Amino acid sequence: MGGKQNFFIAAFVIFLCVNKSSYSAEYLQIKPHKGDGIYSLLKKYELPNDSSYFNKFVELNKSRLSGKNEIFSHYEYKMPILIFEYNGINIRSSIGIDNYDIALEIQNWNNKLLKNKIKPQDYKISKEIWVPFHYIKSQSKSNEQVDENESSDKVPAEITTQKFSKKLNNERIFGKKYTQIQKIDNSLNGYVFYIDPGHGGPDPGAIGFKNGQEMHEDEYAYDVSLRLARNLMQHGAAVFLTIIDPNDGIRDDKYLRNSKDEMFGNRTIIIGNSRERLQSRIDYINEIYSTRKKSQHRLIIIHVDSRQFDQKIDIFFYNQPGDTASKKYANILLKTIENKYLVNQPQRGYRGTLADRNLFMLRHSPCSAVYIELGNIQNSTDQIRLIEPNNRQAIANWLTQGILKADTRTSTILKSKKKSHKK
């Protein structure tokens, strides 16, 4: 949509201004061959074969597509690829990003296109670096680290303002089958967990496809979040979800039905632009936080993203930049997962990582926080991690064990463990 595009451009311009240097980029124009379609072009350019790229292509070329989104071979088309001038130093400073891994991905992708003879010259010679649009989109977030998917014209006229209430013990939250929560022990008594399932409401997060099904990040992250919430409650923790879905409990389906009716944890409608939506989550957390000063508080943020094309990625973690407590905590979770893989599938290996990342939720959390990425929703192996309900439960269980290790004071599980990371 035009508004969306303008907003994207606006966000991009702001991003450029913030960086105080002059990056300019245009979309790559190409002339298709006979028989090319949008998907075949995306494939030719080694771009993700998903709805965000498809829609971007349509958005860029609206006037040149047939009613059925067919391509005409006599027109030129814009690809969802931005052309930047290469400054001869490095990709990061050429395009104004600071993430080395992403720069490396962009470099590899450029080299691949060169090898496939799609790109005519090495970027070091032509001084042209091509960048798939989502990197810039996600980088324009990186000052803010929010998605800019929504503009405020979606704000509904009426907002429910029911107050957030008690602990999470509502059967509607977990669903019929999982309503009963049997106490295992009290090892997490005195702990408050905020679980933030990345997206929800109008924002589905990343989207993947499998067997003709559209997989929305928010649904899978939510299901794992619920399972984790329930596990933690079994150990006596108080748990608050920043997002709830009034009718999706824990689901044992493989493919999770996509919905947009999620709400904030205080049962208000999810509105505002992406930054405001994240701020609302933080406000919600702060409100509870301030009434429970004597407790230990933890924020666990759960995502499933699609940052790296089709690449398989293991569960990985981000900690709060410069916060050793958060880093230690996340590292215990990582080690727990690593161990689980080692024991259950020794030949598999585990390559999850832990890194600082300046993300909005991490930055604004009033308490120790860990950000978890469960995989790449576009990768077929990772998709199995998400589609199998047992796998979603296993992830929740492993995270629970990690949390117990990181947190327990009185649990018999890890009496010997020092609890040096407590704030």
Binding site for Zn ion (CB under 5 A): 198, 205, 303, 305
Q: Among all residues, whose Cβ is closest to Zn ion?
A: 303
In whole angstroms, the minimum distance from the beta carbon of 130 to Zn ion comes to: 25
HEC-encoded secondary structure of the chain: CHHHHHHHHHHHHHHHHHCCCCCCCEEEEECCCCCCCHHHHHHHCCCCCCHHHHHHHHHHHHHHECCCCCECCCCCEEEEEEEEECCCCCHHHHHCCCCHHHHHHHHHHHHHHHHCCCCCCCHHHHCEEEEEHHHHHHHHHHCCCCCCCCCHHHCCCCCCCCCCCCCCCCHHHHCHHHCCCCCCCCCCCCEEEEEEECCECCECCCEEEECCEEEEHHHHHHHHHHHHHHHHHHCCCEEEECEECCCCCCCCCCCCCCCCCCEECCCCECCCCHHHHHHHHHHHHHHHHHHCCCCEEEEEEEEEECCCCCCCCCCEEEECCCCHHHHHHHHHHHHHHHHHHHHHCCCCCCCCCEEECCCHHHHHCCCEEEEEEEEECCCHHHHHHHHCHHHHHHHHHHHHHHHHHHHCCCCCCCCCCCCCCCC
Instruction: State the nearest-atom distance from the C-beta of 377 to Zn ion, in Å.
Output: 9
| Nearest distance from C-beta of residue 204 to Zn ion, angstroms | 10
For Zn ion, the closer CB: 248 or 305: 305
The nearer residue to Zn ion, 130 or 133, going by C-beta atoms, is 133
Looking at the Cβ atoms of 235 and 303, the one nearer to Zn ion is 303
Nearer to Zn ion, 262 or 305 (CB): 305
Q: At what angle do helices 324-344 and 389-407 cross, to 10 degrees?
A: 130
Cβ–Cβ < 8 Å for 201, 267: no
* Amino acid sitting at position 155: V
In this structure, what are the phi and psi dihedrals at residue 89, rounded to the nearest 5 degrees? -100, -70
Contact 159, 271 (CB under 8 A): yes
Q: 307 or 340: whose CB is closer to Zn ion? A: 307
CB of 102 to Zn ion, least distance (A): 15
Rank residues 91 and 395 by Cβ distance to Zn ion and give the closer one.
395
128 vs 196, which CB is nearer to Zn ion? 196
The CB-of-398 to Zn ion minimum distance in angstroms stands at 20
Closest separation in Å from C-beta 373 to Zn ion:
8
Residue 277 Cβ vs Zn ion, minimum distance, rounded to whole Å: 12
- Please state the closest distance from residue 140 (CB atom) to Zn ion, in A: 16
> Which token pair is 200?
């929800």
CB of residue 116 to Zn ion, shortest distance in Å: 30
Of 251 and 303, the one with the shorter C-beta distance to Zn ion is 303
Nearest CB to Zn ion, comparing residues 42 and 374: 374
The one-letter code for the residue type at 353 is T
Report the residue number, 39 or 209, with the smaller CB distance to Zn ion.
209
